Structures are given as structure tokens and as C-alpha cells.
Amino acid sequence: MTASDNRIKDILIVGGGTAGWMTAGLLNRFLPPGKCRITLVESADVGIIGVGEATVPPLVRYLRSLGINEDEFMVATHASYKLGIKFINWRNGNDTLWHPFGPIGGSIDHTQVFHYWLKEQREGREKGTYYDYSLQALLSEMNKAPRSLQQSTKIIESGGYAYHLDAREFAGFLARLCAKRGVRHFIDNVRGVVQDERGFIRHIETEKHGPLAADLFIDCTGFAGLLIEKALGDPYISWSDYLLCDRAWALPQGYDAKMAPYTQSTALKSGWEWRIPLSHRVGSGYVFSSRFISDEAAVQELLAHNGLDPDRAEPRLLRMRIGRRTNFWIRNCLSVGLASGFLEPLESTGIYLIQKSASLLLDLFPDNGFNESLVRHYNYKMGKAYEEVRDFIILHYVLSEREDTEFWKASRRIALPDSLAATLELYEQTGVVNWENHALFGETSFLAIAAGFGRLPRRHLPMADYSIETKAREIMAKMKAQNGQLAQTLPDHGDFIRELNSTRMAAQVS
Ligand SMILES: Cc1cc2nc3c(=O)[nH]c(=O)nc-3n(C[C@H](O)[C@H](O)[C@H](O)COP(=O)(O)OP(=O)(O)OC[C@H]3O[C@@H](n4cnc5c(N)ncnc54)[C@H](O)[C@@H]3O)c2cc1C
């Protein structure tokens, strides 16, 4: 038998939400349909969750790797640009802080601008914030797009941006793309899972198409976890002691001509509100903790906060299970998306974790032997990816100084995971951030959030004392000036999105 005889030739994906279609799209890109057949089955009766509208920069890479035209994608999914997140009232109930994408100033003589900024601030020469060195924060505050229709910029070229998108349209866009590229698509209900004597999945039972067999099964059935949990029995690890929010009211709102190029997160009494501007409407909602507020009181707070008439609004309640799988991959079955785990969407990480799962599967793509060490390695890496995101989200709560409600008091006082406790101790004592291996949110993101909450280390890094002070100040002034100059050349974000849509529509008609 040659090694190639043992290749996986048939993959069955169950579930047609963002997880199912993003996984199908990426696998199809690198596994030619003639050599490996990919089939996706989804139910017409069980809908997709249909939220998940803010993204993070790795999605740019995903779209580019699939050869997707950005303008086409943006028009089809009612997308707008996202340059970061604006947090309102998170620190003390009367404040604003930013998590911008991309570098914040960059580095001088091998040391992040943060440390020069800190030194200048402590010595009384710097009055501004750390984000004053971020191009993305400046564009956000000026409501600017990161490019014009005619001109690309360093933000576009470096991929230091993301999108707001309509989750249903995104799934539909990918479904059409996958169909064109040879992915089979069945609409059917999965009724059962049949395993062989080793516990491998042999086939799934469907209502209309009968038994569907494959070499590899991917569970994208959302919170149901039909294959990995219901059939294979993988236990869920709850993180509800670390992150107290477990419910959300989703509330779509009307068109907003401003179309801010950032996601807005406003702290409310027992959680926070998201606001995501799309080209045709605004996505909003209240992520809250049912331990501290009833569903009814939460929806009233959300409606009142937005000045909306309860008789006209159509909020939808979603229950969230915070945590992750013990094993993301068992024998010939993997889970992706909500079936794998869920973290509250404070930093818009659901779609990123889908992308991470699918690309790690490609990196470690197995043959039909399903080597156990390989499976263990995948599970270890995915576990780390979830933990990194978890720690970053917890950081926002533990740095808050709010004491005005029981929710905020409790969120500040949770017992920290060891990993985050060690990070905070090192940072506070030395200024060092040990997130150099974090794939998504690294040192700059940590520093942005820590500085925004006013949590500064005892001292700047000693390296910042070796640079010539006047030279460092000149470089920093130049950074701000260059950002300001570029911002002046860029269009208003709302105008840009309208122009993009009308230009593409006109091109389709002619
Ligand atoms: C309140 C909230 C806000 C969020 N905001 C963000 C955000 O801003 N950014 C972000 O990146 N992520 C966000 N997320 C996460 C994001 O929504 C999900 O990661 C993403 O939508 C993936 O969902 P999914 O495809 O795993 O599951 P689903 O969308 O639930 O899809 C499940 C699929 O399984 C199918 N299925 C189920 N049972 C069967 C069956 N028996 N037979 C056949 N098919 C079946 C269904 O038909 C469906 O197609 C948010 C989540 C929540 C809850």
C-alpha cells in the first residue's frame, strides 16, 4: 500500500452557519475536488445563529487566500470597515478607551513606543494618550475610511483592519462561492450518528439522503454539538466562573449614515452593549449576566439606552455557553465554531476561532490513520488559542474600576486563571508583556487595553533610557504628523461605503 492510498478522500461537514461555510471554503481551496470530495449538510428547520458581525484582521488574510475580491465581498455582505473597538464607560462609568488594530506607533531602537510615551508622561512632557500614536484610532475618531476607491494605503497593504458584516449574507456569499468551486450541498436533517467498533464515525443518518459516509466528519452544528458532544460524548469545559455574561439580546436597528469605522462597546449595568454599523442597518445587542439581571429587565435597559419604542423593536434572546470543548478533535471527527466553544463577543473572536480551527486542520491534515499524537497536538494548539482569547477578554473586566453594580463588583473580583495572573504580575513589575506567542492579540493589544484602563507598570523598560531623548521625541512627533497627513487624504467612511456600493451596483447593471 502506498502512502497516498491512505489519503482522506471524503469530508462531510454538518452545519451551514459561518463555521460550516468558512471551513468548506478553506478546505476546498487547498484540497482539489477531484481528489477530495467535500459535502456540506445543513438543516432547513434549524436556523443559523445569525449574529457575529464584527471581525478581526485575520479575516482579511482568509478572504485573500480564497482569492475573493474585497469590493465584491463588501457589497454582498453589507460590510463596512472596522479599524478597532471603542469602549465606552468601561473604566469608571464616564470614560472612553480604544483597542485599535495595527501598530501603535511601532518601535524605536527595538522598544515599543509605549515605553517612551510612559517615560515622557511620567516626566510631565507628554499629555496625550498612548493611542495618539495609532493611525487606526485617529481614522476612527475622524470617521475616515482606510482607503479611497482610487488609493490603497499602508493599512490595506499590511492588513491592519477588519470588517463589520451581515452574518447571514456572509454565510450565503461563501455558500455560493463553494457551490461554484465544487462543494456538494445538501439540505437535510441529521437524525443519527453511526459509529464503528473503534468509535469512529461510519456515517450519519439523514432524513432525505439516507446514510452519508465519509472519512472525516466536521461538526459545525453550533451549540447543539450533534456529533462531537451528543454522539461522541466530549465533555464541555465551562468558563462561566471567569466570564459572567451568559445571555444576549440581539437588536437590529435602522440605517445610520455615519457608519463609524469601529465597533462600539458600551458598559451597561450588568454587561455591555455592542453597536456594529453595516451599510444597510446597525447590529446591536446587550450581552449580560443572568446571575445579576432578569431577561426582562435587560431588554428594558437596552431599549431605554437606545431610546427605542418597545412596541416596535424586535429583540431576540440568545443563550450562551461560555467555555470550550475538552477535545476539539476525536478520532475522525472535529468540531468548529460554536460546537467547539464560545467566548463572549467582546473582542469579536468567534469568526477568528473558526478560521484558526480550519487553518490548523490544514496545517496538520491527517491521513486515514488519524495518528493520535497529531490529534493531541491539534487539541493542545486549539486549547491554547481559546485560552489566549479568554485571558484577553477577562483583562477588560479585571482592569475596570467600576463598583456601581453587583455585576461590575463581581466581574472585577473573579479568580484569575494562572496564565493571566502571571502576565499581570510581570507587566506591573517590569513593563514586559509575555504575549509574544499569542497569535491574535499580542503585546500591542495588551498595552492598548492596559493603558486605556490606566493600569501602567511601575516603570518603563530600561531600554528606553538608552535612546537619545531628543531623537526619540522627534520620531514620535513625526509618527503623529504622518498619521495626520494620511488621514487628511482619506474619505469619510460613510461616503466611501455608499460610493463603493453604488459603483459596484452600476457596474453590475451595465
Ligand atoms: C450574541 C452573540 C454575538 C456574537 N458576535 C460575534 C461577533 O461580533 N464576531 C464574531 O466573530 N463572532 C460573534 N459571535 C459568534 C458567531 O456568531 C459564531 O461563531 C458563528 O456564527 C458560527 O456559528 P456556527 O456556524 O458555529 O453555528 P450556527 O450558526 O448555529 O449554525 C449551526 C448549523 O448547524 C445546522 N444544524 C444544527 N442541527 C442540525 C441537524 N440536526 N441537521 C442538520 N443540520 C443541523 C444548522 O442548520 C446550522 O446550519 C457571536 C455570538 C453570539 C451568541
Q: How far is the CA of 318 from the centre of ligand 1 (A)?
A: 11
Does residue 499 lie in a domain region? no
Q: Kindly report, residue by residue over 165-190, the tens digit of the pLDDT.
A: 999 999 999 999 999 999 999 999 99
**Residues 218 and 42: beta-carbon distance below 8 Å:** no
Tell me what percent of the residues of the chain surpass a pLDDT of 90: 96
Mean pLDDT within 430-447: 96
**Residues 11 and 52: beta-carbon distance below 8 Å:** no
Mean pLDDT, the chain, integer: 96
Give the amino acid at 495.
D
Mean pLDDT within 411-419: 96
Does residue 202 lie in a domain region? yes
Mean pLDDT within 14-30: 98
Same domain, 189 and 307: no
pLDDT confidence of residue 52: 76
Residue 502 above 90 pLDDT?
A: yes
Give the nearest ligand 1 atom to 351 CA.
11
pLDDT confidence of residue 510: 61
Per-position DSSP letters for 349-378, written without gaps between them: -HHHHHHHHHHHHHHT---TT--HHHHHHH
Does residue 425 lie in a domain region? no
Confidence of residue 3 (pLDDT cuts 50, 70, 90): low
Residue owning the nearest CA to atom 47 of ligand 1: 43
Q: How far is the CA of 319 from the centre of ligand 1 (A)?
A: 12
**Residues 402 and 267: beta-carbon distance below 8 Å:** yes
Q: How far is the CA of 301 from the centre of ligand 1 (A)?
A: 26
pLDDT confidence of residue 312: 87
Residue owning the nearest CA to atom 49 of ligand 1: 16
Same domain, 312 and 370: no
Does residue 97 lie in a domain region? no
Residue 66 CB: number of other CB atoms within 10 A?
Answer: 17
Does residue 229 lie in a domain region? yes
- In 142-261, which residue ranges form alpha helices assigned H by DSSP? 154-158, 167-180
| Domain end point (choices 300, 319, 338) | 319
Confidence of residue 2 (pLDDT cuts 50, 70, 90): low
Same domain, 343 and 298: no
Same domain, 372 and 264: no
With cell 446587550, the residue in question is 286
User: Residues with catalytic annotation?
Assistant: 82
Same domain, 254 and 221: no
Same domain, 270 and 230: no
Domain ranges, residue 311: 247-319
Give the nearest ligand 1 atom to 223 CA.
30
Number of domains in the chain: 2
Q: What is the CATH number of the domain that holds 365?
A: 3.50.50.60
Pairing of the two strands 80-82 and 162-164: antiparallel
Q: Kindly report, residue by residue over 4-21, the tens digit of the pLDDT.
A: 589 999 999 999 999 999
